[in-house]
Amino acid sequence: MTDWLIKKFVKNWEDTKNQKVRERYGILGSVTGVGLNLLLSFVKILLGFLCGSVSVTADGVNNLSDAGAGLVSLVSVRMAQKPTDEDHPFGHGRMEYLGALGVGVLIAVFGVELLISAAENILDPNKATAFSWLTVILLAVGIVVKLWMARFYRALGSRTDNPTLLAASKDSLSDVMATGAVTVSALVTLLLGWPIDGFVGAIVSLLVLKAAWDVLRDTVTRLLGGKPDRELGRQIVEIVTRDPGILGVHDLVIHDYGPGRAFASIHAEVAADSDLVQIHEVIDHAEREVAQELQIPICIHMDPILTGDEKTEAAKAAMQSYLSRMDPPLRLHDFRRVPGNKQINLVFDVLLPPDFRGEDSLRSGICAHARTVDPRYNCIVHFDRDYFQE
């Protein structure tokens, strides 16, 4: 069913890197979600009113809020496709993150409202409810619909890396749990006569609030500049280092301007005695390959390094051996040996994990080890953060 809808309504559906195709995916998900949630909310609110159940009514209001979230998603996807302008030179792609944030806020609002209603019901357990088998059947149908919607949203969101659709998928799963609990409550009331409607509502509200927290946390992390995509970084490094003229890479940075709108920069080590025109062609070719294969503009900075000098290679190997024994093992780059009469400077950068602390102590240890190799060695160390290391 999902594949049929995608092929039916998304032109060029396989080209998910294309922004127009991503827009069509988002519109398909949003329109489908709004229509189904409006239908579910109407049925559940009507059932809740007829049987006098706060949990069923709240579940219907939840679906109504999901319909509103779908509209937020639709608007955000459309706004994200606005072209670049003077005030937004990298486009409006982050509007999709704001859309996901709106979904998370709506889930949280629903969770709080449901918790309040459940508390009121617990304080008044004798409030009459009139559940019927029709209620149970319709709630079960709602669970099936929501399960399909969760898979539908996830399929669309995963193919296009759309955080709004992925957030809607999580919301649909929380709805499955909520409606499932309400269905159990209806069955218990029908079969045993126990007034557990309020307690079930409280449990459901906590599950919904947990889902809201997950969506808000993930979205805010992206907006604040969270951990970069490791797999994307691996692909960039693999493409850039294909040519043997590039001896190594470091300082990869991926700037996120919204799903499908990244910009990258990286330093490439090249032999200092390389032909400038020839190595420039190698760099240009690597930039074009990254742009063509990953649809990511990239700027590659050349770092010339001295090769073939035995003393430099020996000093570099000694320092790399020391760093490799660290926990976790560390790597160096941009190594230079600057000889003098009484002092030999070793100038290099060391890659550190993002959460590493203790640079001063590490620098002292590196310098002390260098003096054991040669008392004339003086280390000039710069620390970089490696956000793509395993």
User: What is the residue extent of each domain of the chain?
Assistant: 2-224, 227-305, 307-390
Tens digit of each residue's pLDDT (9 = 90 or more) over 169-211 = 888 887 888 788 788 888 887 888 777 777 877 777 787 788 7
Q: Does position 9 have pLDDT exceeding 80, yes or no?
A: no
Neighbours of 301 (CB within 10 A): 10
Q: What is the pLDDT of residue 389?
A: 61
What CATH architecture is 307-390? 2-Layer Sandwich (3.30)
Q: What is the pLDDT of residue 116?
A: 84
Cβ atoms of 388 and 266 closer than 8 Å? no
Closest among 182, 217, 236 to 58, alpha carbons compared:
182
Q: How far is CA 166 from CA 23, 100, 205, 310, in A?
A: 15, 8, 21, 54
- Spelled out in words, what is the top-level CATH class assigned to the domain 227-305? alpha beta
Quote the DSSP letter at residue 27: H
User: In terms of CATH, what superfamily is 2-224?
Assistant: Cation efflux protein transmembrane domain (1.20.1510.10)
Residue with tokens 């949003």: 30
Tell me whether the omega of the peptide bond preceding residue 328 falls within 30 degrees of 0, making it cis.
yes
Tens digit of each residue's pLDDT (9 = 90 or more) over 80-118 = 566 777 777 676 667 767 777 877 787 788 778 878 877
Q: Does position 164 have pLDDT exceeding 80, yes or no?
A: no
Q: Does position 52 have pLDDT exceeding 60, yes or no?
A: yes
Token pair of 77, please?
A: 């996807």
Cβ atoms of 172 and 82 closer than 8 Å? no
Asked if domains 2-224 and 307-390 share a fold, the reply is: no
Q: Does position 358 have pLDDT exceeding 70, yes or no?
A: yes
- Does the pTM exceed 0.85? no
Cβ atoms of 350 and 381 closer than 8 Å? yes
Identify the residue with better confidence: 373 or 1. Answer: 373
pLDDT band at 299 (very low <50, low <70, confident <90, very high): very high
Tens digit of each residue's pLDDT (9 = 90 or more) over 219-247 = 787 777 767 777 788 889 899 999 999 98
